[in-house]
Structure 1
């Protein structure tokens, strides 16, 4: 085995057995030593440890002593000997503390480890121990609880003679990331060590010779590097030539190199893998250059574009606001497709169906997420006049749409993604519900495409009345597609009467509650179709005069009109709410500044954008919708010490969204005064002085008062209402809360409006698996003297939940309750409070730890009655959770530093795996039991790497 000082010793199974025996004795007392069962049990556990080590590296490998101890802990956990495992963990912790005290009292010396040679592009060279120690020490500077010693120890245990320079750099990063579960600050250390590698890669490529500047040297050289980066980017055809005409010296001097250190490992690795510009795989873009490139791309058409670029850069690099992923990918490039979401309506003719599929491919190519309204397509059994035959319905075309989304994978950056919407009265709705099932005819299944029900109020009213419901083919009832509210109800009843008279050939009658039950059952079993509400989306739409909202988008937050001639487009970005709160509450002045600048940035997207289909340009330039959202909501609650399942959290959701809404609408009015209102403004609700908060009354009237939605306000809305009416709006729509799956990772905060998933878990995305520890919880536990290895072990055993831990105070249990520990109706209540301020919608995930038909029925009716426009995923706990062992050796795909010579060099950065582990990500409800959950692939878990199409 490999000792901590680098020397080797023979592997001794007897010592393993002795250590396990001592752990048993610590729990069961001296009498356990005489028991008949102890020796065979210890022998079996010792054998399991040896077998595991053999599997991990073969007989010729020398495992490190820490790895051996990890395997002992894992064997005890797997045998469900949790008290014995805890005793063993305590023993390891005491020994570790003793070693650290000894190291602190003695001067650091280089161990007499075997000589290490590093293979690099310049040839072989001895390991530079001095630089290694300096880089790790620098990475820990400014962090109160991260120390270089444990990182260096972990690095050295993974070194071998002949290691490559790339592998050495990777070993440093991996060493720090294995410590994140014990101390969240090591996420910053890992990021800084990756940054050291990235600096060397970028600067060396631009200089044409090896160079490895540290953070201090890079800070001084950043302006010069930035100018070189832009010049090279233009030369390589990566960046718009116009970027080279900016005053690069002025912009370079505005860069803040110290903000590179604000990135955590998950954020920087994500940027490295998918966002930074590269030349044939070699990154040339550093973080501050990245943020400035995006800012420059958004300022291209400003009068004083340097000043605006600096203003936009400040917002992005401070993490106060972040643009959506397509904008970050493509801003400042030769093809700036910056929009996030595209919504289309598919017409009922073969030519348009396949034209729509072509448009899907073109829109998906540059990272756009798709929402397709398929309701107009006639149903199965409907007459086809041209062939005098019968239609096969909408499902075969949905299968083609599914395969198109997979084939066009957005340049390898992320999979194409689409969502199909169908109204609840369509004759094919029952087959539509089955699209995500794993059984049945695979030619009538769409395993990769999302689906959503577009539900009119009349259907839910029939459910509550236990009445009947009639399904129609849209070729015989075409106007139902464009009607909503009481007009829809009246016309629907006319068609029912016509069907009774035999005037409609294709129809089916069933009990509404039976169809509702089946909708919820499919949602329960497959996670699809989602439940979205047609009338709420249309009755509160400011653009009722210009068309109809026929669907939402891929992530259910966009509600824009679509038609044959218009593809709806939305341009997204999110305010980081965590950056706008302190212990005293919401910083309203800072929030106002952020929102005002953010709306300007989003409006600029519309004019700069690269449109792949003309219908998208026509729609976007005519209506100019944007979607300003938020993220970091849960972090803000932690700062304010407010449990998410509380009236105070609901009130905070209300007040914070009111502030965002007020300033977003005001900013759009200011832009209208400067640039003119959007083309279709006249006739809109805006032009009549009807703001989002006012349109709640329209919905309540259509439902005859059957709406449980708060309408309280605190700001001076009357004056703003008059400004909107007289000056106009620059944007037809201003707000939408997207999932923020990736940009929340970049900024290091909780996603969107999501509750905390776990306090300790492994997050999977296309960059690999990442240990995530709740830093707010760790800080509180440290203050109360409760953060130790036993607490870490307990958190892993209980899947990041505090509920079963007796030594955790009740106030912390309430504050840090996880998503599956809270009643989901609190999420609905908070969503309702937000929805009254939002002109579009919000991606609202709902969590149920033990779903049942009764709970689902109550929850989704509550969402409808409280005025929510849409819901997103229903999530239940998966059958498998975080592995009950130290995450230091099970921490995902990136933990791949070899301990013996490898046949090939490491890649420039850890590369994504083809099959990310779902072990701790929550999956949608996939069955009536844990076994059923395990048997069905997760459709989209919270951290699903393949569901980041909005942000």
Structure 2
């Protein structure tokens, strides 16, 4: 579906930003002058980005109505219907170049390659993007290096080099660089890699992930040994028991949430360009498998804004969703051309496939409005319907762009003139969901009331889900006492004064059983070209056996990757409940009582 420039504007009224959203924008996104003073409003930011992204139109059509297209781009952002990845909000229209959320950097088994990659990693982080690495080609520690038989330091020590080099580089000047690194399960240093973050202060700006093959999983299920392969010689280094190694992965993930798993054989069954090679790398949060040097340009539709009322019923507005999706595909395709790439190699790699990643956020909020519990078959069905619709709209929009602008360069042999080799991705949306005022990505709500530790603990932000607040008010149970109890313990289902229908609807992340987390991820994966970034949240008392079962189920159901996190398994975490939120609750409730109004969450 093309953008209908004759019927602009086509979207909803512009909602107000929450205080939390304004704080995030002020801290990270709004432009500042040389003295550090903010010189831009949120509305001006949206116009800045819209104009910059629409400016690409003249590259393809000198008669393009850029004013109408700018308005369309502005409306989906300012209407909080769609937001691009953080780099685009930061950099578009500022003279700084990177627009992508992340990229993957190849690291070959040579000193020149390693230090070239370190230099490029610093450049990429300074531009605002995260990085995915795969160190599987690096020779193991103690291996031959030059004329010395045992001088190689191995991948884990090299990862530490990258970590130290990028640790204090702030992405786009606003946050520390984020990296993800994977190592093949058959690398001789795999056990050391699994334990690399046993000390939680180690590799603090790296997320670790083990690349698990089909062969390994079959051997692990049967308790068989498997070979470790030296990437330098391609010979067998030694043999390990697959079940014992799998159990070590489970143990370490139980201790602090890492490593996660990705399944490269499953990933490559969906490889849109196998003629260019296998996909060994995934982007910074695991949502986008990429070829070496490719950048990932991502954006997400806010599902909480596509529900409309009809009498006393709510339903999904698929007409609105279609318009948002088609506009967003055009937006993301333009970002590819707007990006100022750090190297010629990264520009060529990205433009030869023109991969984009249109995803979603606010799923839990959408389900709340539809009165559908997250852990239900109806929720899984609706999730599949929504994502299949988005995938179809994104495909149609990409074909239309391909007909007008030309297909991606290596599209030869594809019966459809696709503009983009892949089009849909489910990213984490941690920060942009805060701006949009919705739940992140496809996750269940962490809690109906909780405290968000933000900006390295500088700020604590109260988060009360607006749909819960509305429902609790209608039920007559929204009181200071209830909110204080919830911020202390997060156990809505244990509150005697809350109606059962509210307890069932507002199920939180730790109440959702692992099976439902995996079912939801699978529902989206079925209709997603790339991969799905999602976390299976576990209560603190979950055991290792339960976690091992989650990993096995994820593989068996056909996921491309899996991350699980046991509550309080790290010394610090971004979301929490407890007494430290009581002061924020009281400020909020005092303001509510004073004004006598229902106000949006976090306005304290």
TM-score, with structure 1 as normaliser:
0.57
Q: For the structure 1 residues 888 and 392, does the alpha-carbon distance in structure 2 shift closer, same or farther, using more than 3 Å as the test?
A: closer
Map residues 375-774 of structure 1 onto 2, 5 A cutoff: 375-438=136-199, 445-477=202-234, 504=235, 507-562=237-292, 567-582=293-308, 583-683=313-413, 687=414, 725=415, 727-766=416-455, 768-774=459-465
Query: CA deviation digits over 1:486-533, x for unaligned, max 9?
Result: xxxxxxxxxxxxxxxxxx4x6121211000000111111132111111
Per the TM alignment, residue 793 of structure 1 is displaced from its structure 2 partner at its CA by 3.0
Query: SS state of the match for residue 821, structure 1?
Result: coil
Query: CA deviation digits over 1:122-171, x for unaligned, max 9?
Result: xxxxxxxxxxxxxxxxxxxxxxxxxxxxxxxxxxxxxxxxxxxxxxxxxx
Query: CA deviation digits over 1:832-887, x for unaligned, max 9?
Result: 12111111001110111132121111111111111110123424246995333773
Note if contact 2:270-2:529 (Cα within 8 Å) is conserved in structure 1.
yes
For residues 769 and 621 of structure 1, the distance between their equivalents in structure 2, rounded to whole angstroms, comes to: 41
For residues 886 and 840 of structure 1, the distance between their equivalents in structure 2, rounded to whole angstroms, comes to: 38
Map residues 302-313 of structure 1 onto 2, 5 A cutoff: 302=57, 303-313=64-74
Map residues 314-325 of structure 1 onto 2, 5 A cutoff: 314-325=75-86
> Which residue among 553, 558, 579 is the counterpart of 1:884?
579
For residues 461 and 497 of structure 2, the distance between their equivalents in structure 1, rounded to whole angstroms, comes to: 28
Note if contact 2:141-2:151 (Cα within 8 Å) is conserved in structure 1.
yes
For residues 447 and 288 of structure 1, the distance between their equivalents in structure 2, rounded to whole angstroms, comes to: 35
Per the TM alignment, residue 794 of structure 1 is displaced from its structure 2 partner at its CA by 2.5
Q: Is 2:91 the counterpart of 1:330?
A: yes
Query: SS state of the match for residue 262, structure 1?
Result: coil
Query: SS state of the match for residue 460, structure 1?
Result: helix
Per the TM alignment, residue 411 of structure 1 is displaced from its structure 2 partner at its CA by 4.6
Map residues 95-134 of structure 1 onto 2, 5 A cutoff: none
Q: For the structure 1 residues 807 and 547, does the alpha-carbon distance in structure 2 shift closer, same or farther, using more than 3 Å as the test?
A: same
Per the TM alignment, residue 539 of structure 1 is displaced from its structure 2 partner at its CA by 1.1
Q: For the structure 1 residues 257 and 319, does the alpha-carbon distance in structure 2 shift closer, same or farther, using more than 3 Å as the test?
A: closer
For residues 778 and 449 of structure 1, the distance between their equivalents in structure 2, rounded to whole angstroms, comes to: 37
> Which residue among 16, 19, 40 is the counterpart of 1:265?
19
For residues 567 and 370 of structure 2, the distance between their equivalents in structure 1, rounded to whole angstroms, comes to: 28
For residues 871 and 381 of structure 1, the distance between their equivalents in structure 2, rounded to whole angstroms, comes to: 31
Note if contact 2:515-2:550 (Cα within 8 Å) is conserved in structure 1.
yes
Note if contact 1:771-1:891 (Cα within 8 Å) is conserved in structure 2.
no
For residues 517 and 612 of structure 1, the distance between their equivalents in structure 2, rounded to whole angstroms, comes to: 41
Q: For the structure 1 residues 453 and 886, does the alpha-carbon distance in structure 2 shift closer, same or farther, using more than 3 Å as the test?
A: closer
Q: For the structure 1 residues 886 and 408, does the alpha-carbon distance in structure 2 shift closer, same or farther, using more than 3 Å as the test?
A: closer
Q: For the structure 1 residues 271 and 447, does the alpha-carbon distance in structure 2 shift closer, same or farther, using more than 3 Å as the test?
A: closer
> Which residue among 860, 873, 887 is the counterpart of 2:551?
860
Q: Is 2:32 the counterpart of 1:278?
A: yes
For residues 636 and 555 of structure 1, the distance between their equivalents in structure 2, rounded to whole angstroms, comes to: 24
Query: SS state of the match for residue 750, structure 1?
Result: coil
Q: In the alignment, what sits opposite 2:112?
A: 351
For residues 813 and 760 of structure 1, the distance between their equivalents in structure 2, rounded to whole angstroms, comes to: 13
Note if contact 2:352-2:409 (Cα within 8 Å) is conserved in structure 1.
yes
For residues 868 and 651 of structure 1, the distance between their equivalents in structure 2, rounded to whole angstroms, comes to: 17
Q: For the structure 1 residues 599 and 509, does the alpha-carbon distance in structure 2 shift closer, same or farther, using more than 3 Å as the test?
A: same
For residues 214 and 565 of structure 2, the distance between their equivalents in structure 1, rounded to whole angstroms, comes to: 21
Q: For the structure 1 residues 777 and 889, does the alpha-carbon distance in structure 2 shift closer, same or farther, using more than 3 Å as the test?
A: closer
Query: SS state of the match for residue 776, structure 1?
Result: helix
Per the TM alignment, residue 288 of structure 1 is displaced from its structure 2 partner at its CA by 1.7
Q: In the alignment, what sits opposite 1:370?
A: 131
Note if contact 2:256-2:565 (Cα within 8 Å) is conserved in structure 1.
no
Per the TM alignment, residue 774 of structure 1 is displaced from its structure 2 partner at its CA by 1.7
Note if contact 1:762-1:891 (Cα within 8 Å) is conserved in structure 2.
no
Q: In the alignment, what sits opposite 1:287?
A: 42
For residues 273 and 13 of structure 2, the distance between their equivalents in structure 1, rounded to whole angstroms, comes to: 45
For residues 397 and 884 of structure 1, the distance between their equivalents in structure 2, rounded to whole angstroms, comes to: 42
Note if contact 2:21-2:435 (Cα within 8 Å) is conserved in structure 1.
yes
Query: CA deviation digits over 1:249-280, x for unaligned, max 9?
Result: xxxx99x9984x61000001111122111222
For residues 481 and 32 of structure 2, the distance between their equivalents in structure 1, rounded to whole angstroms, comes to: 44
Q: In the alignment, what sits opposite 2:495?
A: 805
Query: CA deviation digits over 1:201-245, x for unaligned, max 9?
Result: xxxxxxxxxxxxxxxxxxxxxxxxxxxxxxxxxxxxxxxxxxxxx
For residues 819 and 882 of structure 1, the distance between their equivalents in structure 2, rounded to whole angstroms, comes to: 13
For residues 36 and 154 of structure 2, the distance between their equivalents in structure 1, rounded to whole angstroms, comes to: 46
Map residues 225-264 of structure 1 onto 2, 5 A cutoff: 259=14, 262-264=16-18
Aligned pairs, number: 562
Note if contact 2:46-2:74 (Cα within 8 Å) is conserved in structure 1.
yes
Query: CA deviation digits over 1:581-631, x for unaligned, max 9?
Result: 234422111111000000000000111111112221011111111110100
For residues 782 and 312 of structure 1, the distance between their equivalents in structure 2, rounded to whole angstroms, comes to: 36
Q: Is 2:523 the counterpart of 1:833?
A: yes
Map residues 112-191 of structure 1 onto 2, 5 A cutoff: none
Q: For the structure 1 residues 590 and 402, does the alpha-carbon distance in structure 2 shift closer, same or farther, using more than 3 Å as the test?
A: same
Q: For the structure 1 residues 472 and 275, does the alpha-carbon distance in structure 2 shift closer, same or farther, using more than 3 Å as the test?
A: same
Q: Is there any run of 5+ residues in structure 2 with no aligned partner, and where?
A: 1-7, 58-63, 588-604
Query: SS state of the match for residue 430, structure 1?
Result: helix
Q: In the alignment, what sits opposite 1:117?
A: none
For residues 891 and 456 of structure 1, the distance between their equivalents in structure 2, rounded to whole angstroms, comes to: 52
Per the TM alignment, residue 436 of structure 1 is displaced from its structure 2 partner at its CA by 0.8
Q: In the alignment, what sits opposite 1:709?
A: none
Note if contact 2:480-2:585 (Cα within 8 Å) is conserved in structure 1.
no
Q: For the structure 1 residues 606 and 411, does the alpha-carbon distance in structure 2 shift closer, same or farther, using more than 3 Å as the test?
A: closer
For residues 586 and 97 of structure 2, the distance between their equivalents in structure 1, rounded to whole angstroms, comes to: 36
Query: SS state of the match for residue 739, structure 1?
Result: coil
Note if contact 2:451-2:487 (Cα within 8 Å) is conserved in structure 1.
no
Note if contact 1:845-1:875 (Cα within 8 Å) is conserved in structure 2.
no
Note if contact 1:733-1:839 (Cα within 8 Å) is conserved in structure 2.
yes
Note if contact 2:287-2:531 (Cα within 8 Å) is conserved in structure 1.
yes
Bigger CA drift: 578-587 or 411-420? 578-587
> Which residue among 520, 533, 537 is the counterpart of 1:847?
537
Query: CA deviation digits over 1:422-452, x for unaligned, max 9?
Result: 000000011111111228xx9xx42332211
Q: For the structure 1 residues 890 and 663, does the alpha-carbon distance in structure 2 shift closer, same or farther, using more than 3 Å as the test?
A: closer
Q: For the structure 1 residues 856 and 389, does the alpha-carbon distance in structure 2 shift closer, same or farther, using more than 3 Å as the test?
A: closer
Larger Rg: 1
Q: For the structure 1 residues 891 and 671, does the alpha-carbon distance in structure 2 shift closer, same or farther, using more than 3 Å as the test?
A: farther
For residues 12 and 281 of structure 2, the distance between their equivalents in structure 1, rounded to whole angstroms, comes to: 44
Note if contact 1:759-1:801 (Cα within 8 Å) is conserved in structure 2.
no
Query: SS state of the match for residue 656, structure 1?
Result: helix
For residues 418 and 885 of structure 1, the distance between their equivalents in structure 2, rounded to whole angstroms, comes to: 31
For residues 553 and 376 of structure 2, the distance between their equivalents in structure 1, rounded to whole angstroms, comes to: 17
